[in-house]
Amino acid sequence: MSRAIAKYWITSVMVGLVIVFAFLYVRPGWETKGDPKLRLATLEGDPKAVANLSVWGTYRYSRDFNSRIGLDVDGIIHEKEPTLYEQTFEPWLSAKTVKNMFDGNLDFLRGKKNYGTFYSDDEMLAYANTEHVNDDWVLQISVLDKDTKQQSDFEVQYPDSNTRNYWFTDALQRAANGDIIVLSTHSVNVDAEETRHDKELVRLQIDTGKKAISSVTTVIAGREEDKKQLGLLRNTKVYNPMPYMLISAPMNGKWGYYSYQTATGKLSPISIVKAGTEIPTMFDVADDRLDYAYTDGSRIHLQSFDLATGQPESEEILIDTSQWNAVSARAVAANPKAFSIIYENKKADDPIAGVAIVDRKTGKVIYRAEVQADGTEQERQEALRKFDLVSGLAL
């Protein structure tokens, strides 16, 4: 035996090194060693009440390294490298969206642009995309019947194809008679120097059978003001059927919001705005309810409105996060039962970054947790200072 080792020692060393490489490459030590000792600590309520007990933020490891990390009760969650499949759709469409909306009809996504807009309901998938093709503004439409798997792709001309103006597809819905409703923003160039634009939200109804526009109506028009986004408040690429949509536009001198009924096109104002100085942080439209939240300092004001009438549906709930000596706070998500909020205080000695889930009716805290760090005083403060909370608890 010893003669064999003497004979093969070089190859064995080399193979040994290869195994060392494999070990080093696979070893998780790479991710965790050198990590700050941060974690999420439950302060109130029952952790089991929360479906997904993790928050995400960025951590400034060093001058040029900010890395997105997740926190849960055990510690840091590192983002794992995306697989080839994930790289295909992320960040265009989240894996969840692809699964829920396009499962079984993945081919519908072939060749679609990542800045296009989608619509999905039980019977149909639709896609609309505005392109500026040889001096013409064109609306590319694709429609797929989920049952018959019949897909038809066609193009229609936008009414105004003046190149100095600009079309952009905002939303996609479906009319009762099967037509496609496309809501596009049309920014008209007022003066030659292209410094000021007038914006109008246009509703195009398209007959997929005839492959032509059946009606064009202007929903709302107005002058663009800085920091105020005129038109549809959108936060998704894939629309489900939405009986009502939220539109922000100038309203007799001030800035206001309207509820837009998809089917009829009726606009009705919603009395959201109070002093006009508040900072809205959440517009969550669910069927005919709008969950609206705004912040002033550490106080979060939550209220929901009936989009049909435009009137408040419930009393305004006030959550004063200063009780947790937070300085700033915001609501991030809502569902029929609760709201998810974030509160922070960066200036405090031990910087505070907290998340909570609040009962929609009573405003009472169902669950609350804060980011905490372990180690020496100095280590804790440094870790908390370098961590910026980005997304709160998902509902």
* Chain positions contacting other proteins, by CB under 8 A: 7-8, 10-11, 14-15, 17-18, 20-21, 24-26, 30-35, 60-65, 67, 78, 80-85, 87-88, 106, 109-111, 385
User: Cα(5)–Cα(288) distance, rounded to whole angstroms?
Assistant: 78
Closest separation in Å from C-beta 89 to other proteins: 8
Closest separation in Å from C-beta 327 to other proteins: 18
Q: Output the six-digit token pair for 192.
A: 């030659």
Closest separation in Å from C-beta 94 to other proteins: 16
Closest separation in Å from C-beta 63 to other proteins: 3
Cβ-based nearer residue to other proteins, 61 or 255: 61
CA quadruple 179, 182, 183, 188: dihedral sign: negative
Q: Output the six-digit token pair for 260.
A: 């837009």
Q: Are 126 and 118 in contact (CB under 8 A)?
A: yes
For the chain, give the longest Cα–Cα distance.
Answer: 96
Cβ-based nearer residue to other proteins, 21 or 225: 21
Cβ-based nearer residue to other proteins, 85 or 311: 85
Cβ-based nearer residue to other proteins, 76 or 329: 76
Cβ-based nearer residue to other proteins, 78 or 237: 78
Q: Output the six-digit token pair for 334.
A: 């809502």
Closest separation in Å from C-beta 330 to other proteins: 25
- At residue 161's C-alpha, the angle toward residues 160 and 164, to 5°, is 105
Closest separation in Å from C-beta 77 to other proteins: 13
Cβ-based nearer residue to other proteins, 30 or 263: 30
CB count within 10 Å of CB 272 equals: 19
User: Cα(96)–Cα(24) distance, rounded to whole angstroms?
Assistant: 33
CA count, 13 A, side-chain hemisphere, 337? 6
User: Cα(202)–Cα(183) distance, rounded to whole angstroms?
Assistant: 6
